[in-house]
Structure 1
Amino acid sequence: MPNADGEAPSRFVVGIDLGTTNSAVAYVDTQQEPWQVATLPILQVVAPFQAEQRETLPSFHYQTTSAEANAGAVRLPWSAEAPSHAVGVFARDEGTGNPGRLVASAKSWLSHTGVDRTADLLPWHGDADVERLSPVEASSRYLRHLHENWNAAFPNHPLAEQDVVVTLPASFDEVARQLTIEAAKRAGLPRIILIEEPQAAFYAWVYRNAVDWQQQITSGQKILVCDVGGGTSDFTLIRVSANETTGHAVFNRIAVGEHLILGGDNLDLALARYVEQKLAGDDKLPAHQWEVLVRTARRVKETLLGENPPETITINLPAAGAKLIGGGLQTAVTRAEVESLLLDGFLPRVNLTDKPARKQSGFQDFGLPYATDPAITRYLAAFLSAHRFTGDETLGSDRPAGQGADPARPDVVLLNGGLFASPVLQQRLLEVVASWFSSPEQSWRPAVLESPRLDLAVAHGAAYYGMVRRGEGVSIAATLARSYYIGVASDKPTAVCLAPGNAVAGQEFEIEGLDLQVTLAEPVEFPLYVSSSRLVDPPGAIIEVNREELTPLPPIRTVLKSGRQKDQQQAKVRLRAQLSEIGVLELSCREVDANRSWRLQFDIRSTTQTDLAAHDTAGEREGFVDEPTLAACRERIAGVFAESGGTPPRELMPELVRALELDKHEWPTSALRRLWEMLMEFQAGRQRSPAHEARWLNLVGYSLRPGYGFAVDDWRVAQTWRAVNGKIAFPASHAETLILWRRIAGGLSRGQQLGLAEPLIASVRALRRRFDGGAALAGTTALDPAATLEIWRLLGSLELLPINLKLELGDHIVHLLPKRKLENARPTMIWALGRLGQRVPLSGPLNTVVPVQQAAKWLDAILARPETDLLSNAAVMQLARRTDDRHRDVDAARRARIVEWLEFRDAAEHLIELVRTGGALDEGERGVVYGESMPIGLRIHE
Structure 2
Amino acid sequence: MSGNAQHAAAADDSPSRYVVGIDLGTSNSAVAYVDTKETPWRVRAFSAPQVVAPFEVDARETLPSAHYQATDTEAESGSLKLPWGDAQPGVAVGVFARDEGAAKPGRVITSAKSWLSHSGVDRTADLLPWQSDVDVERLSPVEASARFLGHLHDAWNAAFPGYPLAEQEVVVTLPASFDEVARELTVAAAKRAKLPRVVLLEEPQAAFYAWVYRHGADWREHASAGQKVLVCDIGGGTSDFTLIRVGRKPDSDDLQFHRVAVGNHLILGGDNLDLALARHVEQKLTPGGKLPARQWEVLLRAAQRVKETLLGERPPESVTVNVPASGAKLIGSAVQAEVGLAEARQVLVDGFLPRVDLTDQPSRRRSGFQELGLPYAADPAITRYLAAFLTAHRHTGDEQPAEDWQARGLPDPARPDIVLLNGGFFASPVLRERLLDVLSSWFPSDDDAWRPLVLENERLDLAVSQGAAYYGMVRRGEGVGIKASLARSYYVGIGGHPPRAVCLAPGNATEGQDFEVSNLDFQLALAEPVEFPLYVSSTRLVDPPGALIDIDHAELTPLPPIRTVLHTRKKGEPQTATVRLHSHLSEVGVLELSCHEIDAKRSWRLQFDVRSTTQTDLAPHESQGEQEGMVDDATLDACRESIERVFGKQGGEKPSQLMKELAQAIGGPKPEWPTSVLRGLWEMLMELEPGRRKSPAHESRWLNLAGYALRPGFGFAVDDWRVSETWRTLHGKIAFPTSRPEVFVLWRRVAGGLSRGQQLGLAESLLADVRALRRRFQGGKATAPVALDPSQSAEVWRLLGGLELLPVEAKIELGETIVELLPKRKLEKRLPEMLWALGRIGQRVPLYGPLNTLVPVDDAERWVRWLLDWDAPPEAATVTAMQLARRTDDRHRDIDDGLRERVVGWLERRAAPDHFVQLVLASGSLEHQERDFVFGESLPSGLRLGDG
Q: Tell me if TM exceeds 0.5.
A: yes
Q: Which amino acid aligns with 1:824?
A: K
8 Å CA contact 2:10–2:197 kept in 1: the answer is: no
Q: Which moved more, 1:753-762 or 1:550-559?
A: 550-559
How many pairs were matched up? 933
1:842 maps to what in 2? 847
8 Å CA contact 2:622–2:943 kept in 1: the answer is: no
1:424, CA displacement in angstroms?
0.8
1:829, CA displacement in angstroms?
1.3
Q: How does 1:725-764 map to 2 (within 5 A)?
A: 725-764=731-770
Q: How does 1:819-838 map to 2 (within 5 A)?
A: 819-838=824-843
SS of equivalent to 1:392: coil
2:586 maps to what in 1? 580
Cα separation, 1, equivalents of 2:754 and 2:330: 39
8 Å CA contact 1:321–1:327 kept in 2: the answer is: no
What TM-score comes out, normalization by structure 2 length? Answer: 0.95
8 Å CA contact 2:626–2:676 kept in 1: the answer is: no
Cα pair distance change 1:606/1:871, threshold 3 Å: farther
1:612, CA displacement in angstroms?
5.7
1:880 maps to what in 2? 885
Q: Aligned match of 1:558 in 561, 564, 571?
A: 564
1:617, CA displacement in angstroms?
8.1
Q: Aligned match of 1:266 in 272, 284, 292?
A: 272
Cα pair distance change 1:818/1:395, threshold 3 Å: closer
2:3 maps to what in 1? none
Cα separation, 2, equivalents of 1:862 and 1:850: 17
8 Å CA contact 1:111–1:176 kept in 2: the answer is: yes
Cα separation, 1, equivalents of 2:633 and 2:293: 55
SS of equivalent to 1:549: coil
SS of equivalent to 2:241: strand
2:346 maps to what in 1? 340
Query: What whole-Å deviation, never above 9, does each CA across 1:288-323 have from its counterpart, x for those lacking one?
Result: 111111111111111111122222111001112456
1:74 maps to what in 2? 80
1:45 maps to what in 2? 51
2:805 maps to what in 1? 800
1:859 maps to what in 2? 864
Cα pair distance change 1:702/1:615, threshold 3 Å: closer
Q: Which moved more, 1:84-93 or 1:628-637?
A: 84-93
SS of equivalent to 1:824: helix
8 Å CA contact 1:60–1:103 kept in 2: the answer is: yes
1:605, CA displacement in angstroms?
3.6
Q: Which amino acid aligns with 2:926?
A: L
SS of equivalent to 1:293: helix
Aligned: 1:928 with 2:902: no
Q: How does 1:92-111 map to 2 (within 5 A)?
A: 92-111=98-117
Cα separation, 2, equivalents of 1:480 and 1:909: 51
Query: What whole-Å deviation, never above 9, does each CA across 1:472-505 have from its counterpart, x for those lacking one?
Result: 0011111111111111133323211111111122
1:329, CA displacement in angstroms?
1.1
Cα separation, 2, equivalents of 1:186 and 1:655: 56
Aligned: 1:869 with 2:874: yes
Q: Which amino acid aligns with 1:921?
A: L
Q: Which moved more, 1:185-194 or 1:463-472?
A: 185-194
1:13 maps to what in 2? 19
Aligned: 1:477 with 2:450: no
Cα pair distance change 1:899/1:65, threshold 3 Å: same
Q: Which amino acid aligns with 1:477?
A: K
| C-alpha RMSD of the superposition | 2.2
Cα separation, 2, equivalents of 1:394 and 1:338: 46
8 Å CA contact 2:623–2:943 kept in 1: the answer is: no
1:167, CA displacement in angstroms?
0.5
Cα pair distance change 1:244/1:596, threshold 3 Å: closer
2:282 maps to what in 1? 276
Gaps of 5+ in 2: 1-8
Cα pair distance change 1:559/1:324, threshold 3 Å: farther
1:611, CA displacement in angstroms?
5.8
Cα pair distance change 1:537/1:723, threshold 3 Å: same
Q: Aligned match of 2:367 in 338, 355, 361?
A: 361
Cα separation, 2, equivalents of 1:455 and 1:857: 46
8 Å CA contact 2:625–2:716 kept in 1: the answer is: no
Q: How does 1:368-407 map to 2 (within 5 A)?
A: 368-393=374-399, 404-407=410-413
Q: Aligned match of 1:179 in 171, 176, 185?
A: 185
SS of equivalent to 1:796: helix
Q: Aligned match of 1:705 in 703, 708, 711?
A: 711
Q: Which amino acid aligns with 2:165?
A: L
Q: How does 1:484-633 map to 2 (within 5 A)?
A: 484-562=490-568, 569-607=575-613, 608-610=616-618, 619-620=627-628, 622-623=629-630, 625-633=631-639
Q: How does 1:1-400 map to 2 (within 5 A)?
A: 5=11, 7-79=13-85, 83-321=89-327, 325=331, 329-393=335-399
What TM-score comes out, normalization by structure 1 length? Answer: 0.96
8 Å CA contact 2:34–2:44 kept in 1: the answer is: yes
Gaps of 5+ in 1: none
Q: Which moved more, 1:540-549 or 1:831-840?
A: 540-549
SS of equivalent to 2:312: coil
Query: What whole-Å deviation, never above 9, does each CA across 1:602-660 have from its counterpart, x for those lacking one?
Result: 2234344456688688644x42x332122111111111111111111222222222222
1:445, CA displacement in angstroms?
0.8
Aligned: 1:914 with 2:919: yes
- Find runs of 4+ consecutive structure 1 residues off by over 6 angstroms: 565-568, 613-618
Cα separation, 2, equivalents of 1:706 and 1:614: 12
1:137, CA displacement in angstroms?
1.5
Cα separation, 1, equivalents of 2:59 and 2:107: 24
1:127, CA displacement in angstroms?
2.9
SS of equivalent to 2:544: coil
2:6 maps to what in 1? none
Query: What whole-Å deviation, never above 9, does each CA across 1:186-219 have from its counterpart, x for those lacking one?
Result: 1111111111111110110011111211112222
Query: What whole-Å deviation, never above 9, does each CA across 1:301-360 have from its counterpart, x for those lacking one?
Result: 111111222221110011124568457610111222111211111111111111111111
8 Å CA contact 2:357–2:442 kept in 1: the answer is: yes
Cα separation, 1, equivalents of 2:572 and 2:54: 64
Q: Aligned match of 1:426 in 417, 432, 435?
A: 432
Cα pair distance change 1:99/1:712, threshold 3 Å: same
Aligned: 1:787 with 2:795: no
Cα pair distance change 1:320/1:158, threshold 3 Å: same
1:36, CA displacement in angstroms?
0.3
1:71, CA displacement in angstroms?
3.1
2:942 maps to what in 1? 937
1:795, CA displacement in angstroms?
0.7
1:42, CA displacement in angstroms?
0.8
Q: Which moved more, 1:495-504 or 1:545-554?
A: 545-554
Query: What whole-Å deviation, never above 9, does each CA across 1:406-436 have from its counterpart, x for those lacking one?
Result: 1111111111000000111111111111111
Query: What whole-Å deviation, never above 9, does each CA across 1:338-391 have from its counterpart, x for those lacking one?
Result: 112111111111111111111111111112111111111111111111111211
Cα pair distance change 1:616/1:649, threshold 3 Å: closer
1:732, CA displacement in angstroms?
1.8
Cα separation, 1, equivalents of 2:398 and 2:525: 44
Query: What whole-Å deviation, never above 9, does each CA across 1:431-477 have from its counterpart, x for those lacking one?
Result: 11111112464311111111110000000000000000000001111
Cα pair distance change 1:82/1:259, threshold 3 Å: closer
1:413 maps to what in 2? 419
Aligned: 1:442 with 2:455: no
2:901 maps to what in 1? 896
8 Å CA contact 1:345–1:375 kept in 2: the answer is: yes
Cα separation, 2, equivalents of 1:151 and 1:582: 27
Cα separation, 1, equivalents of 2:726 and 2:572: 21
